[in-house]
Chain A
């Protein structure tokens, strides 16, 4: 018989996945908000499968809706097995900066301990923030877990392709190797959201190391590994009708 293994109680490593969902008025146009609701709801079982396949990570899912205000929807850090998506309504302006500040404040102990895996922040939006986005981003990036987060954008519709919007997304992602996923129809949105929910989650929950700080600026290591990017990810759902 093997004697008891050394050490205290073991735990899997927490991994926080946070949806930043745009609930502003423009998302009402052409059924974008309903497409977003459907796409995230459709992705949940796939997320749960990925999480089940990696027992070394405990995946927690949260969602922030931002419109006139930013607030958590359905509670913070819900175990992925219990996560449900309730339909979100659209209306109001786009306080993305406020949402980022709120997430920066949330990503501290006890939510994230030093053994945690990098959090994933998935922004789904159709346009420009209406508040001080930069102040919110600065606040997030001033927090250690904000800096370590992997930030992804799923951009919806033509308004999200403007140079101004691209600059915002680039600043949010903070890594030129990770481009926004552009969705110009519901099918592309489903595809991109499913990819973010599964391939990105799978990659981040693996134990391989990334170079830190200055090192990563000098020698760029891709944050998303070993996963094929879906067709049309950097285009617009090629071959499908553009409705947005």
Chain B
């Protein structure tokens, strides 16, 4: 029986950003399947938020939007290709297209709203000059710098992709919590890879897992502000277990209603950073276990 998936999300401005009058630099976008045959798309992005990345709230929104738009188009064309071919395309071509789409979106945003001298008042150099049709300098992309995490659930496989910090967790039916992608040590201490660098394509991690090798009950994408609330992975993993527990016990509406407040409380008592979560939940995992018919007498 094909699985039916539902996505929900929330994003809150960090307690520290609220105190300092900064915007929420995170973004989340999702596209729920309209029918069983449709993929589910979930993308979470985290703008760097440092002084050089002063438009990273826009950069993260563009990143999440581009990811869903580009992968939606590519899956419509190639979604039925053999898995080995999809693995190859996803790693070599698809992520490059996502990055290129983001860069094009940044250039379009800059043409519509060029940097002002005030934007660069704190820096020794003048704002870069942006000319239509010409490549823009690295400092311009850096202004929009963001990370990106993606999950796409299709009828045959799940695609996980990640550039930079943040977390993807899965919870299976036995309650086992895993990371489908490796967590890189380099991304501790607020350091991260980014869409804004030329290394982005090399630093994008991609994994395709066929559904026949096991289907998780829940996939959780989150920006690093969430994991950084906890002293270790054990405390953070409990977030996924607890949310799945609430989903099973109280349903998606209940979780959707409370998620934002949970994130706000976590930021206040933990990292102080913006926190964003995207959840993909398998409907069958929430349904009560079917009652076995009594044995025939």
In contact, A211 and B228 (Cβ under 8 angstroms): no
Identify B265's interface contact among A5, A113, A114, A148, CB under 8 A.
Answer: A5
| Of B71-79, B108-116, B236-244, B289-297, the one with at least 4 CB within 8 A of chain A | B236-244
| Chain B 157-174: CB-based contact to A (< 8 A → 1; otherwise 0) | 000000011000000000
Assembled-state Cα–Cα distance A75/B254 (Å) = 50
| Chain A 5-46: CB-based contact to B (< 8 A → 1; otherwise 0) | 111111111000000000000000000000000000000000
- Residues of chain A within 8 A of B274, CB atoms compared: 207
In contact, A211 and B192 (Cβ under 8 angstroms): yes
In contact, A207 and B230 (Cβ under 8 angstroms): no
Chain A interface, DSSP helix/strand/loop, else mixed: loop
Identify A8's interface contact among B192, B235, B258, CB under 8 A.
Answer: B235
| Chain B residue at minimal CB-CB distance from A57 | B272
| Of B61-69, B80-88, B137-145, the one with at least 4 CB within 8 A of chain A | B137-145
Cβ < 8 Å to B, chain A residues 45-62:
54-57
B217 adjacent to chain A (CB < 8 Å): no
| Of A95-103, A125-133, A213-221, A230-238, the one with at least 4 CB within 8 A of chain B | A213-221
- Residues of chain B within 8 A of A7, CB atoms compared: 229-230, 235-236, 238-239, 242, 266
- Residues of chain A within 8 A of B228, CB atoms compared: 13, 115, 207
Assembled-state Cα–Cα distance A51/B231 (Å) = 19
In contact, A56 and B261 (Cβ under 8 angstroms): no
- Residues of chain A within 8 A of B199, CB atoms compared: 214-215, 218
In contact, B50 and A8 (Cβ under 8 angstroms): no
Do A219 and B196 contact each other (CB < 8 Å), given the known contacts A54-B16, A113-B232? yes
Identify B189's interface contact among A2, A5, A116, CB under 8 A.
Answer: A116
Identify B271's interface contact among A6, A8, A9, A13, CB under 8 A.
Answer: A13
Do A9 and B165 contact each other (CB < 8 Å), given the known contacts A2-B258, A56-B15, A56-B16? no
In contact, B272 and A6 (Cβ under 8 angstroms): no
- Residues of chain B within 8 A of A209, CB atoms compared: 46, 48-50, 53, 147, 164-165, 190-192, 224
- Residues of chain B within 8 A of A8, CB atoms compared: 230, 234-239
Do A219 and B231 contact each other (CB < 8 Å), given the known contacts A3-B258, A6-B238? no
In contact, A207 and B16 (Cβ under 8 angstroms): yes
Assembled-state Cα–Cα distance A13/B190 (Å) = 11
In contact, A208 and B48 (Cβ under 8 angstroms): yes
In contact, B188 and A225 (Cβ under 8 angstroms): no
| Chain B residue at minimal CB-CB distance from A223 | B50
A123 adjacent to chain B (CB < 8 Å): no
| Chain A residue at minimal CB-CB distance from B50 | A208
- Residues of chain B within 8 A of A117, CB atoms compared: 189-190
A172 adjacent to chain B (CB < 8 Å): no
In contact, A148 and B189 (Cβ under 8 angstroms): yes
Identify A10's interface contact among B48, B246, B266, CB under 8 A.
Answer: B266
Assembled-state Cα–Cα distance A54/B185 (Å) = 25
Cβ < 8 Å to A, chain B residues 235-273:
235-243, 246, 258, 261-262, 265-266, 269-273
Assembled-state Cα–Cα distance A209/B47 (Å) = 8
- Residues of chain B within 8 A of A114, CB atoms compared: 185, 188, 232
In contact, A219 and B271 (Cβ under 8 angstroms): no
B198 adjacent to chain A (CB < 8 Å): yes
A66 adjacent to chain B (CB < 8 Å): no
- Residues of chain A within 8 A of B20, CB atoms compared: 206
B225 adjacent to chain A (CB < 8 Å): yes
In contact, B51 and A56 (Cβ under 8 angstroms): no
B14 adjacent to chain A (CB < 8 Å): yes
Assembled-state Cα–Cα distance A183/B48 (Å) = 34
B207 adjacent to chain A (CB < 8 Å): no
Cβ < 8 Å to A, chain B residues 122-167:
122, 138-139, 141-142, 145, 147, 164-165
Q: A11-B230, A208-B50, A219-B197 are in contact. List 15 more A-B contacts (CB 8 A).
A: A5-B262, A10-B266, A10-B269, A54-B16, A115-B230, A115-B232, A116-B188, A117-B189, A209-B53, A211-B196, A213-B186, A215-B203, A219-B138, A221-B52, A221-B53
The 4 closest A-B pairs by CB, nearest first: A8-B235, A56-B272, A6-B242, A207-B273
Q: Give residues in A with beta carbon < 8 Å to B.
A: 2-13, 54-57, 113-118, 144-145, 148, 206-216, 218-219, 221-222, 225-226
